Structure 1
Amino acid sequence: MTPLEAATHNDPYDYYAGLRLEGELLFDEGLGLWIASSARTVEAVLAHPDCRVRPLHEPVPAAIVCGAAGQVFASLMRMNEGAGHRCPRAIIEPALASVSLADVVAQIVDPVDNLNQFMFTLPVSVIASLLGVPQKRLQEVAGMTRDFVACLSPLSSEAQLRDADAGAIRLRQMFSAQLEETELLMHIRRNYDTSQWQDPEALIANLIGLLSQTCEASAGLIGNTLVTLHRRPELLEEIRCAPPLAVALVEEVARYDSPVQNTRRFVAARCVIGSRVLEAGDTVLLLLASANRDPDANPNPDSLLLERAQRRTFSFGSGQHQCPGQRLALNIAAHAIRHLLSLQPAMLSRACPFSYWPSLNGRIPRFQTSGKTAVSQPSEFCA
């Protein structure tokens, strides 16, 4: 097994434990990457100012640099350092922290006959609704978002790249038009209007970024929670008796079986991590899922505990690039589980055969269902 194959392996956690025994950063000759597997090393790399989210020579992937998808990518705060990261984050993060989902999920969800479609569509629809997209356009926006994120994989086909450009163009047009006034959108606009940062195109790109970041990571979180409930029916009974425990469940699943198994950092200047010297141009693969299972970060890490004290989860990153929508993502997933429990409990209690979508870093179950709606193949996550 390689660290990239581990992301979609049935059970990669013994493999990760073996890597952690090796100590600090390891260099994988076959992949040409440094591997960070322990919580301490992962945290050190994520915090180091010379370990960047994009390589200096390629701020935008070459495959999309000339198209509309590349223009959106270039402005995403999670793909930038300095002002390109700090300014949009200062506007959007406080607004996300103020969001209340209230009845948004219940108003969006239709009867579920296809778990795969549900996992991919619900989270994007919730965020789109919070940003003022009319309900009649939510399915359309979810489709455009899936088209856009398809370009993030190094394995994307020419057709996917064309669809990504078309999706990016349509999403930019939508966010440039008049949307419904919602609490979140008004909060973002108020923060933007009172800030020193004035770049309306970059702001629109980062609204699209909220949709794209939500799409697959949240699908994986919902899906891995469903897998956990299928494997641990006693947890289903606990949630049935106390629905608020759904939040604790998805928090623990995010740690125990992370939807984002790894991410990368690119070394911009010679630096030292632990006792290893990294040179400019090096790449580090951070095994977030392994760090989650490190006993130095979480005692008894291989047990799934709803009441885990001081839970440490690296699935959403850490440091300055930690996901600003972490709490919102967890709440959306918890609402999804509670919705199924209250309206379609058979979906939770019935074991569904599944495999994992092909990916180098994402862990998203693909359930074998009788629904006829197709879901496009996921891209690679970027964090």
Structure 2
Amino acid sequence: MDPIIAATHADPYPYYAKLRTEGGLVFHQGLKLWVASSAAAVAAVLAHPDCHVRPSAEPVPKTIAEGLAGEVFGRLMRMNEGERQGCPRSAIEPGLALIDVNEVRALVSARLITPDADGLTKAMFRGPVCVVAALLGFSPAQARVVSELTADFVACLSPLSHQAQLDAAHAAAEQLQGYFNELLDDPDAQSSLLLGIRQRFVSSDNEMLIANLIGLCSQAYEATAGLIGNALVTLIRNPSLQRDLSSTDDLIAECQRFDPSVQNTRRFVAAPCEIDGISLNPGDTILVLLASANRDPLLNDTPDAFILDRPNRRSFTFGSGRHQCPGQLLALSIASATLMQILALKPKLDSLTWQYRPSLNGRIPLLRTM
């Protein structure tokens, strides 16, 4: 076991607990990087101005730097610091916080979901992107295409992707740019969400705007799929939870803390600094174990217990500080509405098994029938 393999291990949490006992911020000789495992260390790293989301020498991964997917990647607010991060965020975040939960539920309920493994998988991965696309103003048919293209584009975000997937990601980036250009040029198709984003977007860089609208869709794809999927896995493992469940909101809220879809993230040290009593140098890499911090008893009481009505629930799943996910409330709303729709179909959860999708940081179950 190591901190990267842990993300897709059947049960990484005892290992994370062991790491916390060894120190909040410790150098891993095998991986040649620092590992932040405690809540205090994770909070300090995420808040530190010299801990950046990309290495200074490689703002865009070399594998995609020469293609359109790399151009989109380089403009994403979550992959930048300073103005290139702050400007898009200040335009997009306010609108996401104002989205009506009832509108989200209506968009989810309008989609056909079947209770078999294939139907649940489509609901996990494609459904959330369709909801985001519809909220931005795409028609249902266009939203389905945007969802399919997003599935291809997100391959550029994974170091595990092979060349054919990267080629498909470049092609998808080009087509997504075309769809968003058409949407922005059509005043009748734009939603109140998109109009608000455009009004707040002070930059004249239209490519920056489009890249971050694509980013909204890509963030909805994997992370929300994992949130829905891990909630289903939790119900499979604990059938009594479904009998006691009064609200899918509670289940999703606790699941994102207890078994998050994003297990870790990385930060790259840009200048000499000290964190948690450790001196760090430019070029150092820090693996930030969000899932471990969520189970730190100094952050949450009885952290290894799954408590639906947990008081004062605290979590790093959506990050914190300047790079905290701006779409947290939307993601939780989509996941809760989707889970509610799934459970209404009374699927045979005990007939399902799963394996985790290969990933260096994501915990996303792929469901199949036994």
Q: TM class, shorter-chain normalised?
A: over 0.9
Deviations 1:97-123 (A, max 9, x none): 111142111113343441222211111
TM-score computed with the length of structure 2 as normaliser = 0.95
For the residues of structure 1 that align with 2:215 and 2:365, how far apart are their CA atoms? 23
2:346 corresponds to which residue? 345
2:146 corresponds to which residue? 141
* 1:353 alignment partner, SS class: strand
2:178 corresponds to which residue? 173
Structure 1, unaligned stretches of length 5 or more? 371-383
Q: Closer, same or farther in 2 for the Cα pair 1:112/1:138, shift >3 Å? A: farther
User: Is structure 2 residue 206 aligned with structure 1 residue 205?
Assistant: no
For the residues of structure 2 that align with 1:285 and 1:208, how far apart are their CA atoms? 26
Please provide the CA RMSD for this pair. 1.3
Equivalent residues, number: 361
1:189 corresponds to which residue? 198
What is the correspondence of 1:322-361 to structure 2 with a 5 Å cutoff? 322-342=324-344, 344-347=345-348, 349-361=349-361
User: For structure 1, which segment, 48-57 or 306-315, has the greater mean C-alpha deviation from structure 2 after superposition?
Assistant: 306-315
For the residues of structure 1 that align with 2:369 and 2:212, how far apart are their CA atoms? 34
For the residues of structure 1 that align with 2:147 and 2:135, how far apart are their CA atoms? 13
Q: Of the candidates 108, 118, 121, which is equivalent to residue 123 of structure 2?
A: 118
User: How far 1:75 moved relative to its partner?
Assistant: 0.5
1:378 corresponds to which residue? none
2:107 corresponds to which residue? 104
Percent of residue pairs identical? 53
What is the correspondence of 1:229-268 to structure 2 with a 5 Å cutoff? 229-239=235-245, 242=246, 245-268=247-270
TM-score computed with the length of structure 1 as normaliser = 0.92
2:321 corresponds to which residue? 319
Structure 2, unaligned stretches of length 5 or more? none
- 2:69/2:153 contact within 8 Å kept: yes
User: Is structure 2 residue 31 aligned with structure 1 residue 31?
Assistant: yes
User: How far 1:274 moved relative to its partner?
Assistant: 1.4
For the residues of structure 1 that align with 2:180 and 2:149, how far apart are their CA atoms? 13
Instruction: Give runs of ≥4 in structure 1 deviating > 3 Å.
Output: 109-113
* 2:286 alignment partner, SS class: strand
User: How far 1:151 moved relative to its partner?
Assistant: 1.1
- 1:92/1:188 contact within 8 Å kept: yes
The amino acid across from 1:74 in the alignment is G
For the residues of structure 2 that align with 1:110 and 1:153, how far apart are their CA atoms? 28
For the residues of structure 1 that align with 2:25 and 2:343, how far apart are their CA atoms? 43
The amino acid across from 1:156 in the alignment is S
User: For structure 1, which segment, 291-300 or 197-206, has the greater mean C-alpha deviation from structure 2 after superposition?
Assistant: 197-206
- 1:109/1:122 contact within 8 Å kept: no
For the residues of structure 1 that align with 2:18 and 2:351, how far apart are their CA atoms? 31
For the residues of structure 2 that align with 1:47 and 1:198, how far apart are their CA atoms? 29
The amino acid across from 1:214 in the alignment is A
For the residues of structure 1 that align with 2:78 and 2:190, how far apart are their CA atoms? 26
2:307 corresponds to which residue? 305
For the residues of structure 2 that align with 1:353 and 1:58, how far apart are their CA atoms? 39
For the residues of structure 1 that align with 2:17 and 2:159, how far apart are their CA atoms? 28
- 1:112/1:118 contact within 8 Å kept: no
